[in-house]
Chain A
Amino acid sequence: MAKWIPLWVHKLGSPPIFYRFAGAVRPWAIAIAIVLAALALYGGLVLAPADYQQGDAYRIIFIHVPSAWMSLFIYFVMALASFIALVWRVKLAEVIAMESAPIGAAFTFVTLVTGSLWGKPMWGTWWTWDARLTSELVLLFLYLGVIGLYHAFEDRRQGARAAAFLAIIGVINVPIVHFSVNWWNTLHQGSTVRLLGPSKMVGSMLWPLLTMMAATKFYYVASLFGRARTDLLAMESGKDWVRQIAESEARP
């Protein structure tokens, strides 16, 4: 392997070491996420004033935008981990890629639902076929496809590699879908719904949004580490280190 990769990165690739590392980090990550989220919610729901155009309905932005951002961010992390898993066959990369998928799907689902609940009072419709919403819907299908393909294989590692390949193919698809739907909307002039948003955000609206975005990042780490730990235990269940953990957690 390349000389520039430090030893601790190699060490983290080992399942028992990563298991312990993730176990130590996870409580801190979720604690920070909760604190930041509480701050963000207080700032967004209580402190920030009502928008002069959208009234109080704009407050959905504080969960909608971070969710949308995470849905895309997690997909790229998943694609990157997939690439590493396919090229270098690193077991941990497979785990990270596959366990990111459900979290990403969750955020995508939340984005679609909160967006719909925001759209109804603002545009008068629960759904519209503009480029952003359609791409987000396709993204959800991509996530579900990756999850489905991973679980369709008997051999988990083989399933992870196949699903990793699918994730990489999908990454190319998202900008293509966005572009093609944009074109399609200009063709069918009917859909002139503009995605309103506070284009220049007042400071009091901006900081809760940024805080919530940070909170969701820490949440992603916490959730991912939890899922990765569970997956590693299942994958390595024949090994001694897993046996020791199982026996040490036996209830009397």
Chain B
Amino acid sequence: MNSFFAMGGYAGYIWPAYAVFFIVLIADFIAPSLRRRRNLRELRARLARQAARQERAPRTPSASS
């Protein structure tokens, strides 16, 4: 097992290379999911504010959103 990790003495190059590969790609894969959840959260908050505003103000045929 040790000789596997030692990689013939090149461990200092091989393992960081593989680490960079996986870390960068995992970050790239997860990033949009986090952004998506944040966007939906903000959208829900915005919709809630809009609904609250419409409840308070009477239904006038004005152009304001």
Q: Does a CB–CB distance below 8 Å link A and B in the complex?
A: yes
Secondary structure call for the A interface: helix
Given contacts A56-B8, A57-B7, 14 further A-B contacts (CB under 8 A): A60-B17, A63-B18, A106-B25, A106-B28, A110-B25, A118-B13, A121-B10, A219-B25, A223-B28, A226-B33, A229-B36, A246-B40, A246-B43, A249-B40
User: 1/0 per position for B14-44, CB-CB distance to A under 8 A?
Assistant: 1011101100110111001101100110011
- Name the B residues within 8 Å of A103 (CB-CB): 28
A-B contacts, 16 of them at CB < 8 A, read: A46-B4, A56-B14, A60-B17, A60-B18, A63-B21, A106-B24, A106-B25, A121-B10, A219-B29, A229-B36, A230-B36, A231-B32, A237-B39, A237-B43, A247-B44, A249-B40
Contact B17 A226 (CB under 8 A): no
A117→B28 CA distance, assembly (Å):
21
Kindly identify which residue among B7, B21, B29, B40 contacts A222, using a CB–CB cutoff of 8 Å: B29
A242 at the interface (CB under 8 A from B): yes
Contact B40 A226 (CB under 8 A): no
CB within 8 Å for A102 and B28 given contacts A55-B9, A56-B10, A121-B13: yes
Contact B28 A50 (CB under 8 A): no
Contact A230 B29 (CB under 8 A): no
A188→B39 CA distance, assembly (Å):
53
B residues within 8 Å of A by Cβ?
A: 4, 7-10, 13-14, 16-18, 20-21, 24-25, 27-29, 32-33, 35-36, 39-40, 43-44, 47
Contact B10 A114 (CB under 8 A): no
A161 at the interface (CB under 8 A from B): no
Query: Smallest CB–CB gap between A96 and chain B, Å?
Result: 14
- Name the B residues within 8 Å of A223 (CB-CB): 25, 28-29, 32
CB within 8 Å for A57 and B10 given contacts A113-B20, A243-B43: yes
Contact B32 A227 (CB under 8 A): yes
Kindly identify which residue among B18, B35, B43 contacts A230, using a CB–CB cutoff of 8 Å: B35
- Name the A residues within 8 Å of B16 (CB-CB): 117
- Name the B residues within 8 Å of A219 (CB-CB): 25, 29
